[in-house]
Structure 1
Amino acid sequence: MISKLKYLVLLLAVSFVFNSQESGSNNDVEEVVTVGTQIKGARINEALPVTVISAEDIDDLGVDSGDDLLSSLPEQGINQFGETGDTGGINGARGDVGSYDIRSLGTGNTLVLINGRRMVSGASYQTEEIGGSFVPVESPNTQVLPLGLIERVEILRDGAAALYGSDAVAAVVNNVLDADYQGFEMRVRYKNFEHYNRDDHTVTIKWGESFNNGKTSITSYASFYDRDRIRAIEDEVMGFCDRNVFDASLGGRTDCSSNSAWGQFDMSGRASYTDSSGEFLIYPSNDPRCLLQLGNGVCAASDSSGNILYNWYADKDYLGALERRNVFTFLNHDMGNSNEMYVEFGYYDSDYTARREQASGLTAQKFIVPSSHPNNFTGKTLQLDNYRFNDFGPRETSSKKTNVRMLLGFRGQLVSGWDWDSAYVFNEELSDNTIYNRINATVMDSLLQAGLYNPFNGGGYLGRLDSDGDPTAWGDWTPGAPESIMDLARIDVIRNNGRTLNTFDFKLSKPDLFSLPGGDVSALIGFEWRGDKFFDDRDDNLDGTNVYVRRSSNGRLSSSPSYTYPYISNVVGSSPTPDNGGDRTVNSIFVELGVPVVGPEMNVPLVQSFDLQAAWRNEAYSDFEGEDVSRFAFGWRVSDAILFRGSSQETFRAPNLYTINELTVSRVNTRYDWAAVYVDRAATAAGLGSSTLWDSDGRYGVIRNTIGNRNLLAELATNETVGVVLEYDNVVLTYDLWEVSSDRTVGLLGEENSMLIDLVRRLQGNCDGFEGVTRVAPDAGEVETMNAIGFPCPFGEAESVFNQYVNLGPRSVAGWDGAFIYDLDFDWGSMEMKHLVSFTREKEQAKGGLVDEIDAAYASGLIDQSAYPLAGLGNLLKIEQAPKRKTKSTLRFKWDSYALGFTHTTRSEVLEPDVGLRPVGAASRTNAYFDYNFSLNENDARMRFGVNNLSDRRPPLADYRYGFLGDLDVGTRRDFYFDFRVRY
């Protein structure tokens, strides 16, 4: 229905022009450049769906970071770059970083500007599940923003690729900084957290002055922010891995790790202390499940007794310690003859440190304990599995980031009346990351072969059992080796990466190109050049410089290509990644028209004004086929009280540099092998049991190999909106319907979907299975079980899954936005009220390609869809932490020298896909403050006392890291802050 909007509006526009009998004089329009148009003085800006967050709005939130600001916005989705997603490795984005995801369309679909020009993407990428697996995504870093210098944030809730280029699919966020401040302001803030050993300190200074008889002005801003870390164990929920004690609806699932210092060992043959597959565990000697006492406080027990689970939150920080510095300077100079020079310089840096639990070996990285090892009581060669090197102590993460932004621009007016504007921007972000106390895999292998490291003693920690037989505490015991020996294996792992953006643009605009009966037609034409590049320099132990060769089960170094780089790294617990880099150049030309079809003085019934916007842009890329897109918008003002508005545009998102340039990258992810699940279920139903397979629940670590694709196409989308604005006295109501339909989304088929195709083909008698899945040969026991249940194509464990980045099928997101704004003046003061709502009614990733044969298997009854579901495809509404509804409400009272304010944010429930779509309840958060304004030595001063999370609410419990949806909800409880500001 919305897609027919443009034809209706064109018809109305033509009708209005031909029925107009006289032309009215031009209206005086204040020349304000806002997001959504680049034409100075364009009248269409009044009709654009723009959310404006003022400096006062930001101040009311009591936040210290850009990610906290974004999390309060109803339009923002999830922040997958946040700290709660940090697993302790070095492959993802680390440190002081946040991301944009307007409309929950996915990271990378929001274009972010500073004063109307692009921000560079962050130095590090993160992975986001698109299709069936994780895909690199990028975003400008929210933490770079100088919050105290922001004059307003404009969010165009609309696609605008025809105006600004690639990535403006879901929205455009323009951070307007105060570039012409006059005076001096100093501000200090102290924040204390009620439940945590954390204090925050913020100091900001802002100064501006005019010189040279008013022709030159300078504005400077500096801020320093410092915060303490929060350890997970400071909170009873975040610090405990088994959260079933808080909510039984988790169904027994825990976030405890089966990889602990109490290792699992695999050997050939069976013994009295093993299961039928020859696997046994090390337990404390007082455990009732012991089958063989080994002395020194330990015993051996069958693997069927279950692993001793490890609470990795005991060694993990929820939030790391951070120092952040921001500096921004503006210089504006009147050159005469209506020409002006303007300069921007911005600098940001941060130092971040955090503690993470020690790593365990990956599935592809298993170690061998020789029969000659002095603690090996079996006399056989053993494979060490599910072992965590806890006696090495926790890892320490350090991340240092810098961001430099420089702009030199000139603008003015030609004698012909054309305004011109041109600027060069250099913006670069660098990230230096180090993780201390990692373990060199080659050295660890040598220590095990020489018998210098003992993996049979619980890693130096003796478990004590409570009345239910669960380990609840840990006490010091004998380490697996002396510190001098463990120091031989200790290494620090580094990663240095960066992103650089250079842009140059030139624009000509004229507010009165020619006249129509409704007013002057405005126009803009311009071009832009962009140079974008990245580098990613990995540690020598990750990039293949220093390689680790895994041993075969017989104890000899393997000659298999899959037992070394590029499938295994030389760092215990880290997947290998090669050094990488890439660049592209983009050349753009663009045109924009503002057409006032009807003006107020034409006296057209029911049409006070009717304005059109038309825009077109072509972008040519050096590394893939470019795109040209168009935009069409209208604003129909019926009267002073009623305005209808809408738009329809083509948008696109360029494939990011990582998905094009990535070399072969291996990651180990825990996934369901649906063929194994099928056999397990059938064997259990036949009374055969499932212990003969390698993992009884069919879920285990699988190597996923991916590679970039230089044949990727841009993701195309249509973004359509239609809405109404009602204004009466001091009340404003807005309602906008929106719909984004994208195609060719860059993603992956994924491990589980690949193995589901493999199952379908094997059930159909195609014993080659799916070509993207590599399996080991089945052993005799596995063949026997599969023959017994009549499975036509016996198979072994999945060793790896290969996927290349591809353009997937269509994705659609739709919903509506609403706002209620009310201002009221009293004799004693004033009241301001604002309520914003963003509602998502549809979110779906269409199926296509190879998954057609899975759909056919569902339709034929070969497999049941509910028992063997597709991952990451189909209806995603409320899934992937995407709530249907988010709201934000603000209320302010001002009287005499005082002010009182409240901000309330909410979200509706979401569903957890890993817990049978278990509902995670709705969440809300209320912040409040009280101001006292006074004179200090004849200068304006203000004291503010504020409380964040006034009701001290926890986020709803979820089967996720730290026990809540950290990419969506804020985990900290109540905090108090005192803020002092003085202006000279």
Structure 2
Amino acid sequence: MTSLPLRTHRLTLAVQFSLLCLLPTVAAAQDAPGNSARTLDTVQVTGSRIKKAELETQVPVQVLTREAIDRTGYTSVADVVQHLTASGASLSTKLNSSGNFGFPPDGGGVGAGAATVDLRHLGPKRVLVLVDGIRWVNESSGSGVGSSVDLNTIPLALVERIEVLEDGASSIYGSDAIAGVVNIITKKNADGGHVEVQYGDYNLKGGDTTSVDMSFGKSGERAQWIVGASWFKQKEVASTEYKWATVPVPGTGLANGSSATPQGRLVFADPSGKTYNITSNTGVTSPVFDPGQAACSNGNVGPRTDDYHCFGTPDRYNFAPNNLLLTPNERKSVFGQVRFEFTPNVSGWFRGMYSERESANQAAPEPFFLGTDAGVYNDWAEKNLVISANNPYNPFGFDLTTMGSSPNLFLIGRRPVEGGPRRYEQEVKTWYAAAGLDGTFEVNQRTWNWDINAMTSESKATQTNTGSYNIKHINQALGDPAACAAIAGCVPLNIFGGPGTITADMLAWISPIVRDRSKNTLSQASANITGELFDMWAGPLSFAAGAEWRRYKGEYHPDPITVAGEYNGVPSGVTIGSYSVKEAYAEFDIPLARGGFWGKSLDMSIAGRYSDYSTFGGTGTGKIGLRWQPADELLLRMSFAQGFRAPSIGELYGTLSRFDATLVDPCNNAASTTPKCVADGVPPGYEQANPQISVVTAGNRELDPEESRSFMAGFVWSPGWAADSNWASKLDLGVTFYRHTIDGAIQAPDAQLILDRCIDTRDAAACASYTRNDRGQIVRFEDILANLGTINTSGWDFTAHWLLPEAGWGQLGFDWKSTWVSRYELINESGQPEPKGPGVEVNDSAIPEWTSTLTTNWDFRNWNANWTMRYIDRLRERCAGANGFPICTDSVADQHWLGATTYHDAQVSWRTDAWMKGVKVTLGVNNVFDKNPPICLSCTLNGYDPGTYDLPGRYSYAKLSMDF
């Protein structure tokens, strides 16, 4: 692949453009300035590499202190950051399914058991996660090479605070920082021990959560050290605990249930050419077939008097009760770090962590589809199958085959409930080690800071799958009994009777234990320097510069039967890949004015980074920011940044794999005779055999990096007349406007939109993506990754902090944060907008127009109480097309509304220093009023959107903390 040239001309244009916009544009911040300057040690804040005493930078940084984290009652880093108003849907213990989601169309695997963070609804891949300013290794998935950080590998016990930068920062930190940066700052200073125990559950219906955190450390004149351990265990919650999760789609009956049933659906032709679409009667284990009865297809749907009847909607299988609302998760971690001062100017440090996670998810018993219409990308099921007339369980008396020029087996959908649900169990081990030196020296009587560091880490996962099937063994067991007898262990298989007809011996032959392995490693080294170069007319010119090297390695090894094409589930091949990157950056903080016409201060920051990738070559990014404080109580800020995201290992090297998409064929039933459907090769009377269509995706080594542009502007106002008044001790008000544009977004086109576009417009590229057989069934659908999309999103953040004066009854404070997404537009490869947007629920995720959090906090002596209200704006979704389900709020407009939802959380705590160094008792309830999420028709699991809403049910917890 050819290297990209250094785009210095683009950086120059960006800087020139930003300079022209500086004076008339204002910008925003998270924290308001004080009324007077503070004398502080120099520190480094997320969003800048320059150490300085002034904490306010050109970009908004949301700081979640340890106290704020504790007040949420959450027990993981993921839960904390996923509840920010700027966060979108991402993997969690609520949104996690290996079986139903299979391989997502991004080359990375489903990340079973992992938890990630999404900022600005741009996806977890576009968020950079740091720990103490250093990158963290990507998660190891059960089904591919992951491209996001699993926050479950970072125990909450070691977290001092979390800094969230909701702005592009590629010029500061490199790739992935398109939507923002999450920097997790760990505990470093301790003097004694700390133990914390917490227990909670959901309305006594399950989900019991227990956590124990311990740490101990000492701080001396020259050394500080801390060690700790963390244990977390969360039990599962079955979907049967929530009534709306026990039907495939709430309010629709079995219309969207599966055609693979315990009785079996059979679509075949007899020797005369008569085509049948039948299923056996309930409770019949040895059905009798009468070829003289109604065929139930091609208009012949009369009654039958044998042991079969015409297949219809009431026969579909309800897979929902087998799912989980909450997946089980157990995590164990140990960590430690030490810092030693060798001389007054040179210090060294070491930090290490090891964690293990055991998790699981579950799906309905795995179906198998056989026949030319199966569309499962498996030759054993579609092309090489003969169900012998000699098979003792074949009730038809003739061969059913997919082979030859005249196959007569079109579809068998059988759900072997005898084998139990699919269970996917993960074991993930992650280790991390980092060390470094830092210090100071004098240059022209100015103090410069330097540091060098190195890090290596690995995340390794094994996923064990039970309840799945070997399609080759199924083929052999359905064939000639004499051929089966010649194969050691082969037992003839009965798929024609009802539940219970597949015996233990049959299951032993067709049910393997599937084990998949994956691994991600990251090695990194960097050197940085920062200080003041010289005095300018308005103050010293500060700078930071550095160089960095990183190497990523990733691999995924499916079970040998998967590689051989014998697995009934998602086929895939081995993925192995690596790449390295060398980078250099420079950042300058330029004081433009102090006092006079420009008020208190005016500063500009400029940053640039050049990255050289072994996979695609070199690229440069730049950033410019302005910080203007016209008065003590007003701060205005702006930034413009270029960004990029390098293709991940899974996106580059991922081998062919399949995910099952739920698609509605526009040519189904009556529509089959329309000219557009006839042109697509659909015969009259066509009926879509299965709403789940297998779609193949794969990585693409020709992918280019995604490129982005980010703009942020706004203000923070701390009115002096409100400070220390009789009604306010402090009042801070903030507004931030943001805009992100991503070009060449790496994605697989939405399969439903491809299908719709082909039928509506006969778009050649869309129509080339899938293949129909002569019966009209879609049997091949390819959806390969490419640089296809353009994403444009913009919106506003609003913040307010009001602290009342302290009184005899205590002190009351209010903290309000709100995000309004005014625009989100994803343009596909044909230049058309996809349906994802503000206020829309689609593809199991949503972008609410408004999300808001209001926390009321009360402190009185040893007591603290807080009440938090979390608001999610209403959403709309399609209402299952022409089906017109009664639950739809507007069937005529094909629209269903998910009403606005407000959750209430409460917590009270009491602390005393009379015992040991301190004891604290906390009681809390999240979702105090037991609010259920709104019913979602388009969501494929559990009847609601778990990426947007809380788990159904009230969560109560108790926590005991002790210092000694």
Pairwise CA distance, 1:935: 3.7
Aligned residues: 860
Quick check: 1:906 aligned with 2:883?
A: no
Pairwise CA distance, 1:613: 0.9
Mean Cα displacement is larger for which, 819-828 or 298-307?
A: 298-307
Q: Quote the residue 1:845 is aligned against.
A: 826
| Distance across 1 between alignment mates of 2:657 and 2:900 | 38
Is the partner of 1:487 in helix, strand or coil?
helix
Q: Which residue of the other structure, out of 375, 394, 398, is the alignment partner of 2:393?
A: 375
Query: Is there any run of 5+ residues in structure 2 with no aligned partner, and where?
Result: 1-13, 26-35, 104-108, 293-303, 401-408, 482-490, 724-729, 881-893
Is the partner of 1:651 in helix, strand or coil?
strand
Q: Which residue of the other structure, out of 418, 422, 436, is the alignment partner of 1:395?
A: 422
Quick check: 1:924 aligned with 2:902?
A: yes
Deviations 1:645-702 (A, max 9, x none): 110011111112211112233444343444667852639999xxx9954425x86444
| Distance across 2 between alignment mates of 1:346 and 1:298 | 68
Inter-CA distance 81–582: structure 2 relative to 1 (3 Å threshold): farther
Quick check: 1:34 aligned with 2:45?
A: yes
| Distance across 2 between alignment mates of 1:425 and 1:914 | 51
Q: Quote the residue 1:590 is aligned against.
A: 585
Pairwise CA distance, 1:307: 5.6
Quick check: 1:73 aligned with 2:71?
A: no
Mapping 1:265-414, distance limit 5 Å: 265-269=266-270, 277-284=275-282, 300-306=307-313, 308-362=315-369, 363=374, 364=376, 365=378, 366=381, 368-382=386-400, 383=409, 385-414=412-441
8 Å Cα contact 2:111/2:140 also seen in 1: no
Provide TM-score, normalisation by structure 1: 0.82
Inter-CA distance 757–924: structure 2 relative to 1 (3 Å threshold): closer
Q: Which residue of the other structure, out of 203, 211, 222, is the alignment partner of 1:194?
A: 203
Mapping 1:121-160, distance limit 5 Å: 121-124=138-141, 138-160=147-169
Query: Is there any run of 5+ residues in structure 1 with no aligned partner, and where?
Result: 14-24, 128-135, 245-250, 461-478, 545-568, 780-795, 856-869
Deviations 1:817-867 (A, max 9, x none): 01001122322222221000111010101244xx36xx7xxxxxxxxxxxx
Q: Quote the residue 2:493 is aligned against.
A: 453
| Distance across 1 between alignment mates of 2:789 and 2:327 | 39
Is the partner of 2:148 in helix, strand or coil?
coil
Deviations 1:50-88 (A, max 9, x none): 111111111111111223212321011001465534042
Q: Quote the residue 2:19 is aligned against.
A: 7
Q: Which residue of the other structure, out of 515, 519, 529, is the alignment partner of 2:539?
A: 519
Inter-CA distance 738–305: structure 2 relative to 1 (3 Å threshold): closer
Pairwise CA distance, 1:753: 4.2
8 Å Cα contact 2:839/2:875 also seen in 1: no
| Distance across 2 between alignment mates of 1:595 and 1:153 | 28
Mean Cα displacement is larger for which, 214-223 or 376-385?
A: 376-385
Quick check: 1:744 aligned with 2:741?
A: no
Inter-CA distance 347–799: structure 2 relative to 1 (3 Å threshold): same
Mapping 1:299-698, distance limit 5 Å: 300-306=307-313, 308-362=315-369, 363=374, 364=376, 365=378, 366=381, 368-382=386-400, 383=409, 385-416=412-443, 417-449=447-479, 450=481, 452-460=492-500, 479-481=501-503, 483-510=504-531, 512-544=532-564, 569-572=565-568, 574-599=569-594, 603-674=595-666, 679-680=671-672, 682=674, 692-696=684-688
8 Å Cα contact 1:229/1:320 also seen in 2: yes
Pairwise CA distance, 1:375: 3.0
8 Å Cα contact 2:93/2:326 also seen in 1: no
8 Å Cα contact 2:749/2:783 also seen in 1: yes
| Distance across 2 between alignment mates of 1:727 and 1:878 | 38
Q: Quote the residue 2:801 is aligned against.
A: 821
Is the partner of 1:51 in helix, strand or coil?
strand
Inter-CA distance 610–871: structure 2 relative to 1 (3 Å threshold): closer
Inter-CA distance 955–167: structure 2 relative to 1 (3 Å threshold): same
The AA in structure 1 aligned to 2:263 is W
Quick check: 1:711 aligned with 2:702?
A: yes
Mean Cα displacement is larger for which, 144-153 or 495-504?
A: 144-153
Q: Quote the residue 2:260 is aligned against.
A: 259
Is the partner of 2:652 in helix, strand or coil?
helix
Q: Quote the residue 1:117 is aligned against.
A: 134
Is the partner of 1:67 in helix, strand or coil?
helix
Q: Which residue of the other structure, out of 39, 57, 60, is the alignment partner of 1:49?
A: 60
8 Å Cα contact 2:281/2:308 also seen in 1: yes
Q: Quote the residue 2:945 is aligned against.
A: 965
Q: Quote the residue 1:727 is aligned against.
A: 718
| Distance across 1 between alignment mates of 2:142 and 2:606 | 35
8 Å Cα contact 1:258/1:307 also seen in 2: no
| Distance across 1 between alignment mates of 2:57 and 2:518 | 42
Is the partner of 1:6 in helix, strand or coil?
helix
Pairwise CA distance, 1:940: 1.1
The AA in structure 2 aligned to 1:535 is E
Inter-CA distance 191–515: structure 2 relative to 1 (3 Å threshold): same
Q: Quote the residue 1:559 is aligned against.
A: none
Inter-CA distance 919–36: structure 2 relative to 1 (3 Å threshold): same
8 Å Cα contact 2:546/2:585 also seen in 1: yes
Is the partner of 2:467 in helix, strand or coil?
strand
| Distance across 1 between alignment mates of 2:208 and 2:305 | 43
8 Å Cα contact 2:58/2:639 also seen in 1: no
Identity of aligned residues (%): 20
Q: Which residue of the other structure, out of 115, 118, 124, is the alignment partner of 1:107?
A: 124
Q: Which residue of the other structure, out of 947, 957, 962, is the alignment partner of 2:925?
A: 947
Pairwise CA distance, 1:874: 8.3
Q: Which residue of the other structure, out of 764, 787, 808, is the alignment partner of 1:807?
A: 787
Pairwise CA distance, 1:570: 1.4
Inter-CA distance 613–661: structure 2 relative to 1 (3 Å threshold): same
Inter-CA distance 660–678: structure 2 relative to 1 (3 Å threshold): farther
Q: Quote the residue 1:835 is aligned against.
A: 816
Deviations 1:245-264 (A, max 9, x none): xxxxxx66755333211111
The AA in structure 1 aligned to 2:574 is D
Inter-CA distance 805–46: structure 2 relative to 1 (3 Å threshold): closer
Q: Quote the residue 2:4 is aligned against.
A: none
Pairwise CA distance, 1:360: 0.5
Is the partner of 1:827 in helix, strand or coil?
coil
Inter-CA distance 66–386: structure 2 relative to 1 (3 Å threshold): farther
Pairwise CA distance, 1:623: 0.6
Is the partner of 2:90 in helix, strand or coil?
coil
8 Å Cα contact 1:618/1:629 also seen in 2: yes
The AA in structure 1 aligned to 2:397 is G
8 Å Cα contact 2:550/2:581 also seen in 1: yes
Deviations 1:701-748 (A, max 9, x none): 444333322221111111001001001320001100110011111122
Is the partner of 1:725 in helix, strand or coil?
strand
8 Å Cα contact 1:83/1:94 also seen in 2: no
Is the partner of 1:284 in helix, strand or coil?
coil
Deviations 1:503-530 (A, max 9, x none): 10001111x2111222111011110001
Mapping 1:180-219, distance limit 5 Å: 180-211=189-220, 214-219=221-226
Mean Cα displacement is larger for which, 223-232 or 639-648?
A: 223-232
8 Å Cα contact 2:672/2:684 also seen in 1: no
Provide TM-score, normalisation by structure 2: 0.83
Is the partner of 2:920 in helix, strand or coil?
strand
Pairwise CA distance, 1:94: 4.7
8 Å Cα contact 2:82/2:117 also seen in 1: no
Mapping 1:790-805, distance limit 5 Å: 796-805=776-785
8 Å Cα contact 2:644/2:708 also seen in 1: yes
| Distance across 1 between alignment mates of 2:817 and 2:236 | 33
| Distance across 2 between alignment mates of 1:889 and 1:584 | 44
